[in-house]
Structure 1
């Protein structure tokens, strides 16, 4: 699927990837969703927590940018070369939370992403230089990365784990 270049394409791609991920998850029991080792050390629940936290980060970057602030990207104390360490911190933040809480928060985060995108103009999303903090990227790039592209990543890696028989 080509990378979205319009608001309509972005929303359609998010919907397509989200539905595909939900279809995969629908066939799993709560025990399977909390079993570690499906994607590296992570359970399905941990993957969902990872997705929702990256969405929270993108939304916070956008909010800071709207206030004229320069957001700390990717997160306080981390640079892009330290993404594995940041992802580990995200894992540790959520690993003890119940599956139902993670599922609820993931759905809420997804809806907030959609509402935010729907409230942005085409120019807001896809004009380079529209927001100083995005530098050479568009705001849409960040929304793509934290929704449709991340959903595809999750689905692909979860399928690999399932195919490899990592779920009982």
Structure 2
């Protein structure tokens, strides 16, 4: 599906990809959901992937909260740049390395709802107008939201699908 260009498309694709991801995961028996992926990926199982998504939701929500006060948030996170995102993702992986799948599923569903509420409270112009908010720089709020939602869910789906083919 093409990258969303309207609020309704953003909401639709975000929900569609999230539901697609969870439907796919839940199609596996619990034992299979907990099974390790083949070597070669940092995220070693479904729990790791969902924890990653959850943490990026939390970062998005924090960027928004700080940014809307007029302060430039530390993005992607304190001590990291966009070029050092792989190192940040490794820290996220370590943080959740002992996480429980059911707890992570619940946490992800809750953070998903919070991000959806954030999207819903904005007009299309507020979401898609570039340079509207100082903290989003030359891009739009929607650009960050798409990356944290629909695009990220698609990445997770493809990663899990590839890992489960082995």
TM-score range, shorter chain: over 0.9
Are 1:40 and 2:41 an aligned pair?
yes
TM normalised by structure 1 equals 0.93
Task: Provide Cα deviations, 1:6-50, integer angstroms capped at 9, x if missing partner.
Answer: 110100111111121111111123333233335714210100000
Q: Show the counterpart of 2:17.
A: 17
Q: Show the counterpart of 1:73.
A: 75
Q: Show the counterpart of 1:87.
A: 89
After superposition, the CA RMSD in angstroms is 1.3
Give the 5 Å matches for 1:22-33: 22-33=22-33
Q: Distance in 2 between matches of 1:97 and 1:20?
A: 23
- Equivalent pair of 1:128/1:136 in contact (CA under 8 Å): yes
Q: Show the counterpart of 1:123.
A: 125
1:2 is paired with a residue whose SS is coil
User: Is there any run of 5+ residues in structure 2 with no aligned partner, and where?
Assistant: none
Q: Distance in 1 between matches of 2:159 and 2:102?
A: 21
Post-superposition, which runs of at least 4 consecutive aligned residues in structure 1 deviate over 3 A?
none
User: Cα offset for 1:80?
Assistant: 1.1
Task: Provide Cα deviations, 1:43-70, integer angstroms capped at 9, x if missing partner.
Answer: 1010000001011111110110111111
- Equivalent pair of 1:30/1:99 in contact (CA under 8 Å): no
User: Is there any run of 5+ residues in structure 1 with no aligned partner, and where?
Assistant: none
**How many equivalent residue pairs?**
164
Q: Distance in 2 between matches of 1:146 and 1:65?
A: 16
